[in-house]
Homo-oligomer: A and B are copies of this chain.
């Protein structure tokens, strides 16, 4: 764990144990720096992590405020960490349906991943579960340029962990688009629901820290088990 992650962890523990509660003002950066014997930039980075995860709100001029704790089991859509990371207190598992290389992906995929007609992708289709209940059907397309190897074994676990730790890709940001829709017959059969049942139809493009798209995912969420949270700011 890096120093700033450690400080973020220490402060989030104080919040979880209600040493500070919603609406409280945290000590300022100078104070935190002294308290934890770290540099100002370490404190700033720690506060950034806490802000993204909805623990705090930093108001220019007014201070650092404690936010209401996130409800249990909701997926934070503001942090692009993948569900495995986001739902740490839950068991996230996957059943791999298909892993293959597509030499000529269709125009939609090419556009989202900024690929030429000659560039290949890996296609991974999985059903993902939260505490053994079905969470979603996920179809992901990985740019072969950035992800030169993929397998069923890798797809069984956290693909993001593999991408970060083995491929050394620095994940930067993602664009999320979604709307409400109904399940088609094939999706309904997989999700054990009736065709026409409500769903959240969701697309996400992940980029590296230097703005290169490497993963385009289309996800269909199960109605009851998928619940979402966004720590929004003005």
Query: For the complex, is A96 an interface residue (Cβ under 8 Å from B)?
Result: no
Number of copies: 2
Contact partner, A68, options B175, B180, B204, Cβ 8 Å: B175
Query: For the complex, is A192 an interface residue (Cβ under 8 Å from B)?
Result: no
Whether B22 pairs with A227 at a CB distance below 8 angstroms is no
**Given the complex, which residues of B lie within 8 Å of A24, measured CB to CB?**
211
CB distance from A216 to the nearest CB of B (A): 11
Residue of B nearest to A66 (CB): B211
Question: What 0/1 readout, one digit per residue, does chain A (215-232) give for beta carbons within 8 Å of chain B?
Answer: 000000101101111111
Query: For the complex, is A146 an interface residue (Cβ under 8 Å from B)?
Result: no
**Please, how many angstroms separate the alpha-carbon atoms of A25 and B77 in the complex?**
25
Query: For the complex, is A2 an interface residue (Cβ under 8 Å from B)?
Result: no
| Segment 66-121 of A: residues with Cβ below 8 Å from B | 66-68, 70-71, 74, 77-81, 114
**Please, how many angstroms separate the alpha-carbon atoms of A187 and B26 in the complex?**
42
Query: For the complex, is A9 an interface residue (Cβ under 8 Å from B)?
Result: no
Query: For the complex, is A59 an interface residue (Cβ under 8 Å from B)?
Result: yes
**Given the complex, which residues of B lie within 8 Å of A228, measured CB to CB?**
176-179
Whether B211 pairs with A172 at a CB distance below 8 angstroms is no
| Segment 37-72 of A: residues with Cβ below 8 Å from B | 45, 52, 54, 57, 59-60, 62-63, 65-68, 70-71
**Given the complex, which residues of B lie within 8 Å of A221, measured CB to CB?**
180
Given contacts A25-B210, A172-B233, A180-B221, 7 further A-B contacts (CB under 8 A): A67-B173, A67-B175, A78-B233, A173-B233, A176-B230, A180-B180, A182-B198
Query: Which 5 A-B pairs have CB atoms at the shortest separation, nearest pair first?
Result: A198-B198, A65-B211, A176-B230, A59-B209, A80-B232
| A contact set with B: CB distance below 8 Å | 22-25, 45, 52, 54, 57, 59-60, 62-63, 65-68, 70-71, 74, 77-81, 114, 171-182, 197-200, 204-205, 207, 209-212, 221, 223-224, 226-234
